[in-house]
Amino acid sequence: MEQHLLGTDFQNPVLLAAGTCGFGQEVSEVVELDRLGGLVTKSVTLEPREGNPAPRVAEFRGGMVNSVGLANPGARAVRDRRLPWLRDRIRRARVLVSVAGHTPEEFVEVIRILDDADGFHAFELNLSCPNDTRRGGLPFALDPAEAARVVEGAREATQRPLVAKLAPNTPDLAPVIQAVEEAGADGFTLVNTLPGLVLDPETGRPALGAGAGGMSGPALRAVGVHAVWRARSCTRLPLLGVGGIARGPDAAQYLLAGASLVQIGSASFWDPRTPGRVVNWLKGYLGRQGAGGLTELVGSARIPGSSPPTPDSR
């Protein structure tokens, strides 16, 4: 189950996704974090954010929508109060810090504030959060040139690995992947939530306080698996698959499509034991497949007309 990726060893491929586990401490009493491959913190912005009005989460038959609004204490508070907890308590799981901003300069400033701190290994650049609308214009992930500007600035500000988180509603992934890879990214997370809207049929009002939000859960899984498969056809960088993983077979689909790591999000809300069960299922799956290691399964799906490149383990 162990893999060497992004300059470090992951003991297994299962991580907690950004926005679903806070900064680790919030879920540490119900999730054995050091049993997992790692976790991604909630997105950190330059200044503190209160987030969007309640209700922030609503369920529907195929999953859930959320509009948290990137609520977080801000980069300096994360550096001073949240990262020390991770430094002192997490030993085997790898920590990625999610970073968000309204401009490329804000991403860079957050990274500069956090970069010298202990307690984490890499940055995940949140280029695609559909709830962060203050920028005006397209999300970074839908604009290859702007996404590249974010990554170029981040690359100049840190030597840590940079993982770019992309959007599921990008019409063509290839241009943004090429631009971001050339700008210095070390890997990609696919996918973020899809824009979604749930309405109350009796009142005609949205279920979320902010109106629209990001859709996640089982309904997103096929979109995410397809995005990973498409991304694998145009890059050798490591891919992290996320979206709709609730069981071991869900995670296996992402691995077969080309992801080296997977992230579990909404399912951990419904049952915090889900990540551990997925780890256990994947161990048995490797044995049943007769694979000598996880890397033998990554990208091995037999899809007509598809011959993706071999992932790069750097």
Residues 203 and 235 sit within 8 Å (Cβ to Cβ): no
The share of the chain scoring above pLDDT 70, in percent, equals 94
Active-site annotation holder among 129, 180, 185, 255: 129
In degrees and rounded to multiples of 5, residue 284 shows phi and psi of: -65, -35
Q: What is the mean pLDDT of residues 41-55?
A: 96
Spatial contact of 10 and 94, defined as CB atoms under 8 Å apart: yes
Q: How many domains does the chain have?
A: 1
Q: Is the peptide bond before 55 cis (omega within 30 degrees of 0)?
A: yes
- The CATH number of residue 17's host domain is 3.20.20.70
Condensed to tens digits (0 to 9), the pLDDT of residues 207-265 reads: 999 999 999 999 999 999 999 999 999 999 999 999 999 999 999 999 999 999 999 99
The one-letter code for the residue type at 40 is V
* Distance in angstroms between the alpha carbons of the first and the last residue of the chain: 17
Q: Average pLDDT, stretch 18-30?
A: 96
Decide if 179 is inside a domain: yes
Tell me whether residue 21 is one of the annotated catalytic residues. Answer: no
pLDDT, one tens digit per residue, over 154-166 is: 999 999 999 999 9
The per-residue pLDDT for 305 is: 72
d(CA 177, CA 169): 14
Residue 308 in any domain: the answer is no
306 in a structural domain: no
CA dihedral 116, 147, 18, 168 (to 10 degrees): -170
CA distance 94 to 187: 15
Q: Residues 127, 150: contact at Cβ < 8 Å?
A: yes
- What pLDDT was estimated at residue 138? 80
Closest CA to 212 of 64, 55, 67: 67
Domain presence at residue 304:
no
Beta bridge partners of 195: 214
With bands split at pLDDT 50, 70 and 90, how would you rate the model's confidence at 171? confident
Rounded mean pLDDT of 92-101?
Answer: 97
DSSP state of 30: T
With respect to residue 256, please indicate whether it lies within any of the assigned structural domains.
Answer: yes
- pTM here is 0.95
**What are the tens digits of pLDDT across the range 98-147?**
999 989 999 999 999 999 999 999 999 999 864 344 455 688 999 999 99
Give the residue numbers spanning the domain of 105: 3-296
pLDDT value at residue 128? 83
Q: How far is CA 177 from the centre of its chain?
A: 15
CA distance 82 to 21: 13
For the segment 271-280, what is each residue's pLDDT rounded down to a tens digit?
Answer: 999 999 999 9
Domain membership flag for residue 312: no
Which tens digits make up the pLDDT trace of 297-308? 999 999 887 655
Q: Give the residue-averaged pLDDT of 6-34.
A: 97
Residue 310 lies in a domain: no
Counts for the chain of helices (H) and strands (E), in that order? 9, 14
pLDDT at 131: 37
Judge whether 290 lies within some domain.
Answer: yes
Query: β-strand 239-242 against 187-190: which pairing, if any?
Result: parallel
SS3 category, 175: helix
Range 165-182 average pLDDT: 95
- Rounded to whole angstroms, the Cα distance separating 18 from 22 reads 8
Residue 214: per-residue pLDDT: 94
The predicted pLDDT at position 133 comes to 45
Mean of per-residue pLDDT scores for the chain = 94
